[in-house]
C-alpha cells in the first residue's frame, strides 16, 4: 500500500493548522492605550501595527538614531511605505521618548530580588 502514511499526514496537518491560525496577528489584539502615553502614540501605533504587533516595537529600547535605522530597515527590507517627513518626525519623537535605551542597572533596570 503506497498511501499508508496519508491518514497520519492528514491528521498532522489538521493538528498544525489551528496553531498557525492562532499566531496570525490582528490589530484588535492590542490598542494604543496599552502602551506608554505621549504625543504621537496613536500615529506610531497605527503606522507600525499595519504589519506586526506593537509589543515587538515596545520591547526595544533604542536611541533616536537606532529608531531611524529600524524604520529604514522596515522600509528597505519589509516594504513599509516611506513616511512623509512630518509623520516620520512624529513617530521618531514618540519612539525616542517612550522607548529609550534601558539603563543597565539601577532604577527601572533589572533588580536582583535577593539583594534586598
Residues that bind ligand HEC (CB under 6 A): 47-48, 50-52, 56-57, 60, 70-71, 73-74, 78-80, 91
Q: What DSSP string runs through 9-77?
A: HHHHHHHHHHHHHHHS--GGG--GGGS---TTHHHHHHHHTTTS-HHHHHT----HHHHHHHHHHHHHH
CB of 4 to ligand HEC, least distance (A): 38
User: Given the complex with ligand HEC, which of 26 and 79 has the nearer CB atom?
Assistant: 79
CB of 5 to ligand HEC, least distance (A): 33
User: Given the complex with ligand HEC, which of 85 and 113 has the nearer CB atom?
Assistant: 85
User: Given the complex with ligand HEC, which of 47 and 96 has the nearer CB atom?
Assistant: 47
The count of residues in the chain is 116
User: Given the complex with ligand HEC, which of 5 and 61 has the nearer CB atom?
Assistant: 61
φ and ψ of 97, to 5 deg: -80, -40
Amino acid at each position: 500500500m503506497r498511501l499508508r502514511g496519508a491518514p497520519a499526514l492528514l491528521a498532522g496537518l489538521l493538528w498544525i493548522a489551528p496553531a498557525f491560525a492562532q499566531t496570525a496577528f490582528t490589530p484588535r489584539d492590542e490598542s494604543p492605550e496599552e502602551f506608554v502615553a505621549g504625543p504621537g502614540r496613536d500615529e506610531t501605533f497605527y503606522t507600525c501595527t499595519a504589519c506586526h504587533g506593537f509589543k515587538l516595537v515596545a520591547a526595544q529600547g533604542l536611541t533616536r538614531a537606532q529608531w531611524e535605522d529600524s524604520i529604514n530597515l522596515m522600509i528597505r527590507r519589509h516594504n513599509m511605505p516611506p513616511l512623509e517627513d512630518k509623520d516620520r518626525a512624529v513617530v521618531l519623537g514618540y519612539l525616542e521618548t517612550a522607548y529609550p535605551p534601558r539603563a543597565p542597572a539601577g532604577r527601572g533596570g533589572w533588580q536582583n530580588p535577593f539583594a534586598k
